[in-house]
A and B are shown apart, each in its own frame.
Chain A
Amino acid sequence: MARITASVFTSHVPAIGAALDLGKTAEPYWQPLFQGYEFSKQWMKDNQPDVIILVFNDHATAFSLDMIPTFAIGTAAQYQPADEGWGPRPVPLVQGHPALAAHIAQSVIQQDFDLTIVNKMDVDHGLTVPLSLMCGQPQAWPCPVIPFAVNVVQYPVPSGQRCFKLGQAIRRAVESFDEDLNVHIWGTGGMSHQLQGPRAGLINREFDNAFLDKLIADPAAAAAIPHIDYVREAGSEGIELVMWLIARGAMKDIANNPSPIRLRHRFYHVPASNTAVGHMILENT
């Protein structure tokens, strides 16, 4: 039986990818940020999954205004790193896991979540920056990845509550897959940031750290945060944090037979470009 053993949470700022790709990680501006992921890179080596379900959002790259699905799961064999206007990032092709992805689609749609099944999609920094932060700069990514895209660009976006329940549905889907697989689920984006208008540059340390506290110890309360609180407190793009609730909802302690989760790592840093960076690793026990 497949099982989710851990969840990883991280921001996915494009400038982090550029800093890595251009060899700037040791510069004083970037060094404290990358330092916060040193533990995580070792943890990835020590706890290598067979598959990563990577929850992210597309930033007007694969999905134009012709159509934007609210929830989309990638069932392709491979995904190309996208050209976001600066040329594609020099990172490996992303290998998919079509069999598990199709299984999750079947199961989760039958649990009343309307997923769009995507067989062709370039993946942007939302997906590749978390992989770079957690895996460094390998010739190939360490395992297959199932891209799971959430619309957080065009309002209304899904509520935190719905995302939290979707995570629970994904856990049930994974546990009904017969092959013995060690699966990680990653929630990405955030933390507080605003990229538009005279309020651009908003950062809210208090909100972000309270969110991390809640996500660990009282995830149902984190799921109950309404959209407007993210916009008002964490900036218009802080709404990306709803994606973290999908990964949190997929952890075992949310299920009927709870077992405690273990916090392995927690990190917070301001700024990366316009954004507050948050990062956390939780393991099932």
Chain B
Amino acid sequence: MALEKPYLDVPGTTIFDAEQSRKGYHLNQFCMSLLQAANRDRFKADERAYLDQWPMTEDQKLGVLSRDLNRCIALGGNIYFLAKIGATDGKSFQQMAGSMTGMTEDEYRAMMVSGGRSVQGNRFIGEDGTAQAHRQPQGAAGKPGH
């Protein structure tokens, strides 16, 4: 019988539920290892070799190597775990969150300062808000040549 998951029709959003958690266990535990300074150093010295010590899928490893957080989330990553990669890279939470929108850092920051993203058109898949699939990428960072 299907489980109740009323959140599947929210655009631009992946809820980290028990199923995503199962898929992302090793990916997230790799992220967790970066809480230790010595591991951050080992990862930075040879990212691929460090990742190969973890039983992650190739897709998950490529997602990490390319810092494609949307891809990592689709493959079971959770943002609070993935944030350890950003911390290792010296990125703020705002830089990480912005990287998932296709906006540049300045564009995303300007959106937040002017009150954030509106919920209008962004409640259900199929509306016309900025988070909808047909409006990606949202900014210059996602455009060719950037």
Give the chain A neighbours of B83 by CB distance below 8 A.
59-60, 84-85
B57 at the interface (CB under 8 A from A): no
Contact of A155 with B18 in the complex, beta carbons under 8 Å: yes
Once A196-B97, A199-B122, A200-B98 are accepted as A-B contacts, the answer to whether A276 and B78 lie under 8 Å apart by CB is: no
B101 part of interface (Cβ distance < 8 Å): yes
Decide if B28 is an interface residue (CB 8 Å cutoff): yes
Chain A residues lying within 8 Å of B124, measured Cβ to Cβ, are: 232
Cα A86 to Cα B91 with chains together (Å): 10
Q: Hey, which chain A residues are within 8 Å of B40, CB to CB?
A: 85
Is A260 an interface residue, CB under 8 A from the partner? no
Query: If A65-B28, A153-B80, A274-B97 touch, does A197 touch B13 (CB 8 Å cutoff)?
Result: yes
Determine whether the beta carbon of B13 is less than 8 Å from that of A194: yes
A202 vs B117: C-alpha distance in the bound complex, in angstroms? 4
A242 to chain B, nearest CB (A): 15
Q: Is the CB–CB distance between A228 and B7 below 8 Å?
A: yes
Contact B116 A202 (CB under 8 A): yes
Some 28 contacts from A to B, beta carbons below 8 A apart, are A59-B80, A60-B32, A60-B80, A65-B29, A65-B32, A83-B37, A85-B34, A85-B86, A154-B16, A154-B21, A195-B97, A197-B14, A198-B12, A198-B100, A198-B130, A198-B131, A198-B138, A199-B131, A200-B98, A200-B117, A201-B108, A207-B119, A228-B6, A231-B13, A271-B115, A271-B116, A273-B94, A274-B94
Q: Which 9 A-B pairs have the closest CB atoms?
A: A203-B116, A85-B87, A198-B12, A199-B12, A199-B131, A155-B17, A60-B80, A200-B97, A201-B117
Given contacts A65-B24, A85-B35, A273-B93, 20 further A-B contacts (CB under 8 A): A60-B80, A64-B32, A65-B32, A65-B81, A85-B88, A153-B16, A153-B80, A192-B116, A197-B12, A197-B70, A198-B130, A198-B133, A200-B97, A201-B98, A202-B116, A202-B117, A202-B119, A203-B112, A236-B10, A274-B116
